[in-house]
Structure formats: C-alpha cells, structure tokens
Chain A
Amino acid sequence: MNKTFNQKAWYFVIPVFVLVAFNAAVPLMTVVNYSFQETFGSNVFAWEGTRWFKEILHSERFHASLGRQAIFTFIILLIQLPLGIFIALTMPKKGWGVPVCLILMSMPLLIPWNVVGAMWNIFALPDIGFLGNSLNSIGFDYNFTQQSGDAWFTTILMDVWHWTSLVVLLSYAGLNSIQPAYYQAAEIDGASRWDIFRYIELPKMKKVLTLAILLRFMDSFMIYTEPFVLTGGGPGNATNFLSLDLVKMALGQFDLGPAAAMSLIYFLIVLLICWIFYSLMMKDEART
C-alpha cells in the first residue's frame, strides 16, 4: 500500500506512546541507574562505573545461565514450529471439528503461568503424578526433582504443551487465508503434496510464522514463572535459566547493581536478535 506523508498521524500515536513510555521509561531508567552504582541499603549509593558490566560479562555463572537459556530456546523453537505447522495442516477446515479443535487447543494458552507450573508439577511427580507414575511403572527411572535430564525433559514437555497451540492457531489462520483457486491451480499442474506446502502454503504463512517465531523466541527466552514453580531452577542449577538466575540475584541476594547490569545485558541480547530478525523481515517486505 502506498502511504501518504502526514505528520498529523502523530496525534493518533500519542495515547500509545504516552502509555508505553509511562511504563517503560521510568523503570528502565531506574535499572540503568542501579547498574552503575553500588547499594548499601537505605538509599545510599556509590558510583561504580562499568564495573558490574565487566564482572557480569566475565562471570562463569552468567555464561552458564545464558548457555542454558540459549539451548532451551533453540530446542523449543525446533520442536514447536514444525509441530505446530504440522498440526495446523491436519486440522479440519470445516464442520463441527473446527470449534472443538480451536477451543480445546487454546486452553493451555489461557491458564495462568504459575498454575501451568503447579499443574505440571503434580502431573509429573514420580509418586502421585500421572506422568511420573506411568513412566516409572513402565520401567523408566524418572524423577524430575533429582535428575537434571528428567528436569530438562519435563520443562521442555511443559513448554511444548503450553505454547505449541499458539503456533497452531497462527498457522491455521494463515492457511485459512489461502484462496481455493491456488489449490485448484496446483492440482491442474500436478503438484505433489510437498510442492503445495513449499510453494503455496509456506509463503502464504510467512507473515503469521514471523509473528509466531518472534513471540515464541521472546517468551521462551524470558521464561520465568513456569520453571520457577516446576523445578525452581533445580536440581542444582540444571534448569536455572536467565530470568530465574536474575531474580535470585536481585531479590534473593539483593545485589541490585550486578542484577541491573545483567538485566540490561539480557535486554540488549533479546533486542539485538529481534532487531536482526525485524530488519530482515522489513527488507523482505520492501522487496515484494
């Protein structure tokens, strides 16, 4: 669409700008403020310069939790995107199955995050949980509170359970927007199922998949409540993701300076990745 230049459009954006700035600017500045200072409690601060940033960037603990976080997000995207697209492709297109699928599949998305964590906790407990008990009774030695492998497995399974539906819903919406004429043309050309997917469905889903990838990346990279309730970062530090570690530092040990510096580094990492992705997307949009 060719847009016209109109500076008055700013008036339309003002409410959004004010509301978001109100929430973003002051808290962000507080964090920036803390990140350069040492706290001694009761509002006494001393200037520390970039000391916290240097310390965080060189700390083993930060590297470890960043590594865990990156692996977690990578696995999540790797499982949820293909699985979500696959399920969307097999969903009914009309009839009573549509509302049934949509309603049941959206349910995990609308459960408060700590309830999700608590629900999976009692579901996976080796003695009284269905998952834990079943796995143990068929011969697996499963205990997510003690074995780090099991803790990872449970956390990933929980996230797949929780969020795959978002990818399904978005992909399904994208698929629904394809005119039947495309499929008829493909049939005349004798295209295989794979060709239809590769050259018709996938390009048509590009917009929704972009949204899905960005949302899944951001939310899985910032995951906090669910693993906090499910594993609390344990056993040991096995599932101690970036947010969990950060909150432990900020509220547990009350190291506001380092925690603030870590927050900013964390924020910048998310920002950088999303910016690269966003620019690539915009470039692509300008081309087509």
Chain B
Amino acid sequence: MKKIKWLVPTIYIIFLMLPIYWLLNMSFKTTTEIINVYSLWPKDFTLENYVTIFTDSTWYMGYVNSITYTVFNTIISVSAALPAAYAFSRYKFLGDKHLFFWLLTNRMAPPAVFALPFFQFYSSVNLFDTHIAIALSHCLFNIPLAVWILEGFMSAVPKELDETAYVDGYSFGRFFFKIFIPTIAAGIGITMFFCFMFSWVELLLAKTLTATIAKPIAAIMTRTSSTSGYELGLLAAAGSLTIIPGAVVIYFVRNYIAKGFAMGRV
C-alpha cells in the first residue's frame, strides 16, 4: 500500500500535464503543420509564433494589461478586506451576520448576468477601457472571498494577542501593522494567491469593460483568431504564455499553501 501511494498523484499530474503539453507542442508548430500532420512532437520546429507575439505590441501589451489590472485588483481587494475581516473576526456589530452573507452573495452572481449592466455603468462613470475599471469590477467576487479567507485565519489567532499588546501600550494601528499582520502573513499570502488567480483567469467582465487600451491578453486571443483566420499556432503560443505568470505566483506562495493553511480555520 505504502509503495504505490505515489502512483495516484503521479497519474493525476500526468493527466493535468497532457493538455498543457499538447498546447506547447502546437505552439512550436506552424499552422499548416498543425492542420495537416498529426504528430506527438513538432516535426518542423519553429519559434515564429513566439517571435510574432514579442514583436507585435498589440500582442505583448495584452500581457502587460492583464498583469496590471490583476495586480491592482489584488492590492485593492486585500487591503480593503484586511480591516473588514478583522472586524468580523473580533467584534459583534449590528447586522454583522447579514452583511457577511450579503458579501458572499456577490460571489454568487453569475458574471454573465452582469456583463451588460457593467458595461453601461462603467461607461457612464467614464472608466470604460481603463485598468482600474477591471480591477474594481473584479472586486465584486474577490473581496467577498478575501474577507472570507482572512476572517478564517484571523479567528485562529487568539484574542489574548490583541489584549497583551494593548496592555503593553501598543496603539491599535501599531499593533495591527507591527504584530497582527506579520502573525497572519501566511493567510495574506494565500488570500493574494486566490485574488490573483480569480482576477487573472476571468475573461467575461474584462472583455466587456475594454476596447483597445486596457484589453486583456485573453480577449486579444479571441479577436485575432476571428480576423486573421484561425491561426492555431499563434493562438497556442499566446495561450502557453498565459500560463507563466500564474506559475510564477504559485512558485512564490508554495510554502504558504503547504504550511500556511494549517494555521487558519479555512
């Protein structure tokens, strides 16, 4: 039993890697080769697809745009959620339970429902086609999640920590930034990971709220495929590149995922 235990994760990982490998495989082929020859590895190896992406600004700016609004959103979501989660974990106040559930309900609104009203709303406040518009609109589902996860981590920290700090003469602000935030650093790491993840992968709102200036890479992919025929090789290369920022983020938070969760009640 012990010996074959590693088999399960291994098979699962192979299953996960297969479609990704196929995408990479295609990204190194020319479109003609993709359509005409079925092969498990590129016969006519080419970097042309990647060269196109890195030399054409409509392509590479897409990555810049996506990363910009994702980072904005992560910062806004986590900094707004920190005090709120603290309040929920430490105090009772009028309407707390209802407010908490109301926050969660926003995570439940199908983005497809909101696409059109969002477009009208953000146009009317003159934020259409800006990075901040997407960052703000993604708060709709990221803030509730951030509050929820952080609240879990904060509830796991005993209240005695707060009280001892006050007895020692710490002001609230100093306690919060000097003691409390370092204590739940792992929780903040996890929260940032989730915010980054959900903002990075979302397309519907990001696409609805942009035209040219702030267009995310994922939306550029859908547009290019329709105007210049179906350039599979280029599409595969662009798709492969969207995996990289996520992989970098995972690399940085891997220890938090392994250890960090342990302290939270999440």
With a 10 A CB-CB cut-off, give which of A15, A170, A211, A256 has the most chain B CB atoms: A15
B42 CB–A CB distance under 8 Å = no
- B83 engages A15 (CB within 8 Å): yes
B105 and A271 contacting across the interface, CB-CB below 8 Å: yes
Q: Known: A16-B147, A20-B144. Is A222-B200 also a contact (CB below 8 A)? A: no
Given contacts A8-B93, A104-B13, A242-B110, 17 further A-B contacts (CB under 8 A): A9-B96, A10-B94, A16-B103, A20-B106, A27-B118, A110-B201, A110-B247, A161-B15, A211-B266, A221-B110, A243-B110, A263-B110, A267-B108, A267-B110, A271-B105, A275-B101, A278-B101
Q: List 25 A-B contacts (CB under 8 A).
A: A4-B91, A5-B91, A15-B83, A27-B118, A31-B114, A102-B258, A103-B250, A104-B17, A109-B197, A110-B197, A110-B247, A123-B23, A161-B16, A172-B257, A173-B261, A173-B266, A177-B261, A218-B107, A222-B110, A224-B112, A242-B110, A246-B112, A251-B115, A256-B116, A274-B104
How long is the Cα–Cα vector from A151 to B34 in the complex, in angstroms?
A: 22
Is A115's CB under 8 angstroms from B239's CB?
yes
- A interface residues (Cβ-Cβ under 8 A, vs B): 1, 3-10, 12-13, 15-17, 19-20, 22-24, 26-28, 30-31, 86-87, 90-92, 97-99, 101-115, 118-120, 122-123, 127-131, 133, 161, 164-165, 169-170, 172-174, 176-177, 207-208, 211, 218, 221-222, 224-225, 242-243, 246-247, 250-251, 256, 263, 266-267, 270-271, 274-275, 278, 282
Interface residue from B144, B158, B259 paired with A176 (Cβ < 8 Å): B259
- Chain B interface, >50% SS class: helix
Task: List the A side residues contacting B110 at CB < 8 Å.
Answer: 221-222, 224, 242-243, 246, 263, 266-267, 270
List the B side residues contacting A169 at CB < 8 Å.
257
Q: Is the CB of B83 within 8 A of A12?
A: yes
Whole-angstrom CA separation of A198 from B142 in the bound complex: 33
Tell me, in angstroms, the Cα distance from A113 to B91 when the chains sit together. 38
Report the minimum CB–CB distance from A31 to chain B (whole Å).
6
CB proximity of B65 to chain A, nearest CB, Å: 13
A-B contact count, CB below 8 Å? 285
Report whether B113 and A267 are in contact in the complex, using a CB–CB cutoff of 8 Å: yes
- Decide if B83 touches A123 in the complex (CB within 8 Å): no
Q: In the complex, are the beta carbons of A17 and B99 less than 8 A apart?
A: yes
B244 vs chain A, min Cβ distance (A): 9
B46 sits at the interface (CB 8 A): no
A259 to chain B: closest CB distance in Å? 8
A83 (CB) vs chain B CBs: closest residue = B12
The answer to whether residues A270 and B108 also contact, given A7-B94, A27-B121, A102-B257 and a CB cut-off of 8 A, is yes
Determine if A98 and B258 form an interchain contact, defined as CB atoms under 8 angstroms apart: yes
Contact of B34 among A3, A108, A128 (CB under 8 A): A128
B177 at the interface (CB under 8 A from A): no
Q: How far is the CA of A111 from the CA of B245 in the complex (A)?
A: 9
Taking a contact as CB atoms under 8 Å apart, the answer to whether B93 and A9 are in contact is yes
Q: Does B213 contact A (CB under 8 A)?
A: no
* Contact residues of B between 126 and 175, Cβ < 8 Å to A: 136-137, 139-140, 143-144, 147-148, 152, 155, 158-159
> Closest CB-CB distance, A242 to chain B, in whole Å?
8
Question: What is the CA–CA distance of A27 and B116 in the complex, to the nearest angstrom?
Answer: 8
Query: With A and B bound together, what is the CA distance between A246 and B245 in angstroms?
Result: 32
> A10-B94, A23-B139, A165-B16 are contacts. A112–B197 as well, Cβ < 8 Å?
no
| B120 close to chain A: CB less than 8 A | yes
A222 to B202, CA, bound (A): 13
Task: Decide yes or no whether B192 CB sits under 8 A from chain A.
Answer: no
Q: A113 and B203 in contact (CB under 8 A), knowing A173-B266, A224-B110?
A: yes
Asked if B178 is at the interface (CB within 8 A of a chain A CB), the reply is no
Of chain B, the residue at the smallest CB distance from A15 is: B80
